[in-house]
Structure 1
Amino acid sequence: MHHLLCGLAANPALPPELVDRLISVADDDIALHLAYRPDLGRAQAVALAERVEDSAVLLAYEGRLSAADVDPRIRPDAALALLDAGAGRPEWARLLAADPVRERREKLAACPGLRPDVVETLATDTDVRVVAELALWATPDLAARLAAHPHVAVRRAAACNEATPPAVLAALVTGAGLPAARHCLVCDRKEPPFVHGPECPEPDCDLLPGASCDGSHESAVRDVREAALRNPATPVEAVAGFVDHPAALVRWALATRQDLPGWAYARLASDPTPGVRADVAGNPGIDEALIRAMADDHDPAVRRGLAHHPRVPLDVLIRLARTTKLGVTLLPRVAACSSAEVEELAVSPDPAARMLVAHRRDLPAGTRDRLADDPDAKVVKALAPHPGLSEAQLRVMLDRHGVRVLAKVATNPDATPALLVDLVRHEPPVHKAFREVARHHAAPAAALLACLTDSRADDGVRPVAAGHPALPPRVVVELLADPDPQVVEAAAANPSLPPAVMSDALSGR
């Protein structure tokens, strides 16, 4: 019954009076579905918040509750949500800055537009986690001040903050000009020297493996440096010299920066750590010469990074497509192709080139139709979801390439009901096709019934089909008694469910 009520709560066709009845019996799960209803009125939202306290936060974020509906003394979490969304009353922050629950003060520290007195209260909070959260979002002046905080956790947050002044970020990289830190998360918990092992026996320990402190807070200081190196506001002259640092994590922190000099990228491109090279490969800051030099890297992640580079030369991209699994996605460079480049790829004798451009969904009709007749199954598979293909063209694809393209044909937005029925009856069956048919907007009842009853469909298909509005109401009603609770919930959320049945289901809960 609980799954049925959750489904009803999400049903877009649920009459307003039944929404009210559901609110009166809602628990946390039902309230979650109700809160996302686009037709939920203000009075209903207030009633739901009173019924299920935890729903008030979500309702506030969804804009269903306003400041007039929330008392911060009674619902502090909802008040915080409104402050975070910029819809709360500024005076609430003074009250919440003194809240005994640390998590609330920490949440408040991330809210925009706090008054100066509230900021000062949070900056001197007794819990370092609150101060660190404040440093993460602080204005330049406050961030500069907190960068010299005695606790390393606060300094690390300032190092992540792009509003922290560049000179201060440079100091956080080296530590020069800053007073020595006195505390870190490790020595807060353990007497130094201490190294946190990978298999900690303490169930409530939140220290990361490898965290250590011998009195110099070494692992925490390293984290500050890495955060500052990643921060794009840190001056490049303060970071470039670290490309030869012996620690891989330090070098890795530089690999995604887009402002390094060419020589620095060249060093990182030959780094012994594959992850460093992979991040460099996808970095928009590298030039064509380095892209070409990296194209023969033995690591597939590096080659994938290059393939996703927005300015990879087309000839390099084609070469990468031959040797690297790039996934079923439109690559940035192909998306940016000019009309001439699109045609160049489409008529290429290399099927890898034709496959790349076949992932576009805005091809000229002539180009699209020519690729639909391509002899290579991978090209046709990439093209099959393209809008504008006729039923006859899709059937020719199936006749020529069979199961290799069938699931992708099922995703085509112009696939006809008759074709979708034939796809689920295909021999041999293609399991992925059932799921695509079950969610297709044009799927007819016959295809959906096959998705519900055919043993060849995997278990996850039935809930998808049960929620399809093209199912006959009689079938939807029958599915309310299905042994699979996911199917029951999906059927209860189906807008084809008759209102009288919705009412009866609520009455018999």
Structure 2
Amino acid sequence: MVAYHSSALDGVAANPALPTPLLLRLIAFDGGGHGPPFQALHRPGLPEPAVAAVLTHPVLNARVQFAMSGQADAEQRARLANDSSPRVRAAVAYGPEWTHDHRTKVRPLPDAVCARLLEDPEPSVRSALLDSRHLAPSFLASLVRHPDPAARHAALRVWDELTPDGRTALLDDADPEVRRSAALCACPHDARLTAALLRDSAALPEALSHGLLRRADAERFLAEGVHLVELAGNPSLPADLVDRLAVHPDDSVRLAVSLRPELTEARRAAIDFTVAPHAQEHVGWVAAGIADQGVLRRAATSTHPLLRRAAARSPHLPPDLLRHLAADTDVVVRTNLAVHHPDTPEEVLMSVYARLGGTFSAWMATGHPHFPREGLAARFADHPDGIYRQLAVRDPAAGPDLIERLSHDPDVWTRQAATRDPRLPLPRLLEALALPELASSAGANPALPAGEMAVVMDEAGVPA
């Protein structure tokens, strides 16, 4: 048996046409102690016999990988919550680190399963759960009076959804860190809390940026000339102090003022600020109003590039604002549309791909449901740049001869794209299966006969 699996086997493991008997054979593979290929455990829609085999797999890594699969249902992953290994239970608790499409949200584990994991005897499991990005708001809200201060701290993530009693309990919590963090959640509406937090060096920057300020405190920081970027963005800053900061010598301070939500466009344009070409500044009021049509309209129609970039990250833009931003000359605006909006026009997706080919954003653009397919072969099959020749493979009108030709392309990414295509003639597909740089792509080709998949498994030492 080989020490580990081959590139061809990796491809077969990802092949959407892999028959269930071969999938079960592959999942049972111990991989020299590594378990089956990663791709076999992260497939969408694993049949129940395959799930059952993973749940009892003798190789620990196989169970860990499935516990963190972004393709598995939450209920399937939850079946490993009682696994004998704390590593597996921690993987279940933390959840997927990534999915094949970031536009798809991971469904949280059932609350009852989370509650059980939070009582796990292993600290690593409990901490993994509380670090998870996939916890349901209902579960987080239930932690307000949990005996573990780390759990109570996690409840603060859903502060706005807590009951008044729950908020009071956290503000009066026995743990100083929980109290501080609760006060930071409450301080936008409480000047007394804000003033107290400004005396706490650990809380000062955040409290100054969004707490309800007393004028005397604001004037003190302005006079001292410290933390002025945070001060410049504070929503409660008096208008005359905003005016003073708008002409401050520090460009970063003027930039922070320029992003304030109450400014008219004329007032915003009068501020002298500089925006870096690829800056993605966090704009709190736009992020908070990511589905608010009024907020999106103000940001999307602004002359301020950072506001338009922030608006372009919203999947909730109405058609007129989408068209407006699609015509924007700012490349970051167009890139954000390509990554985040479900209805981004073809021409925007193509422009992002053309500019950023080979990057994550370009990959997201080609995975977009509106990315064009028809006509790509005629446009790009003979393009001098391999980044474009890859696109020809996407064209449904591309014939087997063109696909075969592209499987010999000088550009390796183009060769791999053509080798994954089921229109590739079988003799060339079998030839590619033996080439190191194409073996994985050939193994993943849905047109690969099941008998050849079995041969790949035989050669990789996968027991029959």
CA deviations 1:32-61 (Å, max 9, x no partner) are 322343341123113123321212423587
2:446 maps to 495
Q: What is the deviation of 1:471?
A: 0.5
Q: Out of 135, 138, 141, which is 2:156 matched to?
A: 135
| CA distance in 1: counterparts of 2:326 and 2:20, whole angstroms | 55
The CA distance in 1 between the partners of 2:282 and 2:56, in whole Å, is 49
Secondary structure of 1:491's match? helix
Q: How far apart are the structure 2 equivalents of 1:306 and 1:92?
A: 34
Match of 2:40 among 30, 34, 37: 34
Q: What is the correspondence of 1:6-85 to structure 2 with a 5 Å cutoff?
A: 6-25=10-29, 30-51=36-57, 52-59=62-69, 62-63=72-73, 65-66=75-76, 69-72=79-82, 74=84, 75-77=88-90, 80=93, 85=107
Identify which of 85, 97, 100 aligns with 2:123: 100
Structure with greater Cα Rg: 1
Query: Structure 1 152/69 Cα, relative in aligned 2: closer, same or farther at 3 Å?
Result: closer
Q: Distance in 2 between matches of 1:502 and 1:358?
A: 37
Q: Give the paired residue count.
A: 370
| Amino acid across the alignment from 1:504 | V
**1:479 pairs with one of 429, 432, 449:** 432
Q: CA deviation at 1:488?
A: 1.3
Change beyond 3 A, Cα 1:26–1:358: closer
Match of 1:444 among 375, 391, 399: 399
Closer, same or farther in 2 for the Cα pair 1:330/1:146, shift >3 Å? closer
Deviation at 1:432, TM superposition (A): 3.1
Instruction: For 2:273 and 2:21, locate their aligned partners in 1 and report how far apart those are by CA, in whole Å.
Output: 65
Of 411, 414, 422, the residue aligned with 1:469 is 422
Map of 1:7-406 to 2, 5 A cutoff?
7-25=11-29, 30-51=36-57, 52-59=62-69, 62-63=72-73, 65-66=75-76, 69-72=79-82, 74=84, 75-77=88-90, 80=93, 85-88=107-110, 90=112, 93=115, 96-97=118-119, 99-101=122-124, 103-107=127-131, 110-114=135-139, 118-121=143-146, 124-125=149-150, 131-138=152-159, 139-141=162-164, 142-143=166-167, 145-146=169-170, 151=176, 155-156=180-181, 159=184, 168-171=187-190, 175-176=194-195, 178=196, 217-218=200-201, 220-226=203-209, 237=236, 243=242, 245=245, 258=261, 260=262, 262=264, 266=267, 270-274=271-275, 294=303, 301=305, 321=329, 359=347
Q: What amino acid is aligned across from residue 62 of structure 1 in structure 2?
A: A
One-letter identity of the residue aligned with 1:414: E
In 2: Cα distance, 1:266 partner to 1:470 partner: 59
Alpha carbons of 1:60 and 1:489: their partners in 2 closer, same or farther (altered >3 Å)? closer
Pairwise CA distance, 1:226: 2.9
Kindly, what percent of the aligned residue pairs are identical?
20
Shift of 1:135: 1.6
Deviation string, structure 1 residues 275-310 (Cα, Å, up to 9, x no partner) = 699888x9775999x978x58xxxxx5697599798
Q: Residue 415 in 1 paired to residue 440 in 2?
A: no
The answer as to whether partners of 2:281 and 2:306 remain within 8 angstroms in 1 is yes
Are the aligned partners of 1:8 and 1:492 in contact in 2 as well (CA < 8 Å)?
yes
Q: Is the 8 Å Cα contact of residues 413 and 440 (structure 1) preserved in structure 2?
A: yes
1:425 and 1:48 mapped to 2: Cα distance?
46
Residue identity opposite 1:57 in structure 2: A
Which whole-Å CA distance do the structure 1 matches of 2:47 and 2:424 have between them? Answer: 29
Distance verdict in 2 for CA 1:240–1:153, change over 3 Å: farther
**8 Å contact from structure 2 (residues 406, 418) kept in 1:** yes
- 1:91 Cα deviation (Å)? 6.7
Distance 1:72 1:39, change over 3 A: closer
C-alpha separation in 1, matches of 2:324 and 2:9: 56
CA contact (8 A) 1:491 1:497 kept: yes
Corresponding residue number in structure 2 for 1:424 = 381
- Where 2:21 maps in the other structure, the secondary structure is helix
> How many Å separate the matches in 1 of 2:188 and 2:177?
14
Q: Distance in 2 between matches of 1:115 and 1:494?
A: 43
- Structure 1 length normalisation: TM-score? 0.56
Distance 1:325 1:121, change over 3 A: closer
Q: 1:100 to 1:106 in 2, by over 3 A?
A: same
Deviation at 1:442, TM superposition (A): 3.0
Distance 1:62 1:454, change over 3 A: closer
Partner of 1:397: none
Q: State TM-score, norm by structure 2.
A: 0.60
5+ residue gaps, structure 1, are 182-215, 296-300, 336-356, 362-380, 386-410
Seen in structure 2, the aligned counterparts of structure 1 residues 61 and 501 have a Cα distance that, compared at 3 Å, is closer
User: C-alpha offsets along residues 142-169 of structure 1, whole Å, 9 cap, x if unaligned?
Assistant: 345545767568745774xxxx56xx42
- Structure 1 contact 467–494 (Cα < 8 Å) conserved: yes
